[in-house]
Amino acid sequence: MDWISDVSAGDWLRDRLDDDWSIHHFVPHGFEAYARVFHPAEVRSLPDRAVPTMDAWMRMPDSEQQRLMGLFDDRPATWADAAAAFGTTVHALAQWQRIVATPPEEDWRSRIAPDGREFTCPDEGRMPVAQFAAVAAHLASHTSTPDAGCVAVWEGWGGLVGAYGGNGRGFIELTDEPPREPAVWSSLRANFENPFRKAQWHPGILSDEISKGARLALPDRDHVLFGAAPSSFADPSWILDAPWRDREAEARGFEPAVQHPSILWPSDHAWVMVSEIDFDSTIVAGSAELIRQICADAAIEALPIEEGASMHAGA
């Protein structure tokens, strides 16, 4: 994957978007069919709902903590799983807060089902690597250019690009040293003491050249553009080749993990996949056969969605 400084490769997307509240604020018009790929939720079985306090947890020996953790059965859950637990119905325009029967003014992000299980809402703007790979496998088989295409990554993911004055990126180290004044307070004080001082540049995961380079500007979202083979994303190991892989975090002990593309399309424009950062689902636009295959794949929870549909809350 190589950075593309000439972002005109994405102009065709902008020409087919609308300034409205439909999916076409982010997903291009003009395709034969569309699918909504539901991002998985998470379900937890809480035995007797006996959750220790933080103080009690910290006093426990490691063996007891491990025993308790083994009782918390966290696993992915489909929207159909949640609907069955709450007695609701999944359909193409379903909204998570309705699926988990959320009363007005209550929090829909975490809900307890009648059977005692706790359902946590799906991630917005992202899906697990395995699910993304399953979708990508279908995409790669429905283009004449499986080895040539583009990916757009939203610039706002924490720490992705460098910025003046801070970019939300940092690491916490636990040491035996006395606590120092938080950097944010010293920075604020410095601003008051010298309001005309030049803001400091904070590097991001991507190079300074990319961070300061051109963006693919679409309605409400700016993206960094890369050239990539759509077929490569069918293998979950693609994350090891992503230019936006956070190697500094890995050096500090974190497992390799990257945000999948916000937008993916092949050079022949046969389809486009859009994971809008505020949507709990990804939209795929393409041929009717592509959409049929995605919706029929048991590894992917997806339903056909009509052109012009809306994904916004309350729609």
Quick one: 100 and 208 in the same domain? no
187 within domain boundaries: no
Single out the residue in 62, 90, 120 at which a domain terminates. Answer: 120
Quick one: 76 and 223 in the same domain? no
Give the contacts of 156 (CB within 8 A, at least 6 positions apart): 221, 222, 277
User: Is the pLDDT assigned to residue 223 strictly greater than 90?
Assistant: yes
- Please give the single-letter amino acid code of residue 198: K
- Bridge partners, 265 (sequence order): 150
pTM comes to 0.84
At 62, is the pLDDT very low, low, confident or very high (cuts 50, 70, 90)?
confident
Q: Helix crossing, 129-140 with 288-296: angle to 10°?
A: 150
Quick one: 249 and 288 in the same domain? yes
From CA 131, how far away is CA 42, in angstroms rounded? 14
Give the contacts of 158 (CB within 8 A, at least 6 positions apart): 167, 168, 169
260 within domain boundaries: yes
Residue among 194, 197, 226, 221 nearest 210 (CA): 226
243 within domain boundaries: yes
180 within domain boundaries: no
User: Is the pLDDT assigned to residue 16 strictly greater than 70?
Assistant: yes
Residue among 7, 9, 6, 27 nearest 18 (CA): 27
84 within domain boundaries: yes
Quick one: 147 and 229 in the same domain? yes
Quick one: 30 and 47 in the same domain? no
Give the pLDDT score at 48: 55
Quick one: 242 and 295 in the same domain? yes
Mean predicted lDDT score pLDDT of the chain: 88
Residue among 165, 135, 163, 159 nearest 249 (CA): 159
Tens of pLDDT, residue by residue over 125-148, are 999 999 999 999 999 999 999 999
Structural domain count of the chain: 2
Quick one: 62 and 113 in the same domain? yes
Give the pLDDT score at 295: 98
280 within domain boundaries: yes
Contact predicate 118/75, CB 8 Å: no
Give the contacts of 61 (CB within 8 A, at least 6 positions apart): none
Contact predicate 77/122, CB 8 Å: no
Single out the residue in 98, 120, 142 at which a domain terminates. Answer: 120
- Please give the single-letter amino acid code of residue 258: V
75 within domain boundaries: yes
What are the two backbone dihedrals, phi and then psi, of residue 165, each rounded to the nearest 5 degrees?
90, -5
Quick one: 112 and 134 in the same domain? no
From CA 82, how far away is CA 80, in angstroms rounded? 5
Residue 236, token pair as written in the block: 């979950």
Q: Quickly list H helices, 43-148.
A: 54-59, 62-71, 79-86, 96-99, 129-140
Residue among 296, 311, 310, 288 nearest 34 (CA): 288
158 within domain boundaries: yes
Single out the residue in 66, 96, 120 at which a domain terminates. Answer: 120
Quick one: 147 and 12 in the same domain? yes
Quick one: 106 and 14 in the same domain? no
Residue 242, token pair as written in the block: 């992503």
Quick one: 101 and 130 in the same domain? no
Quick one: 22 and 115 in the same domain? no
How many CB atoms within 10 Å of residue 168? 12
Residues of the domain holding 82? 41-120
Contact predicate 265/140, CB 8 Å: no
Give the pLDDT score at 146: 97
Give the pLDDT score at 72: 63
Higher pLDDT, 162 or 188: 162
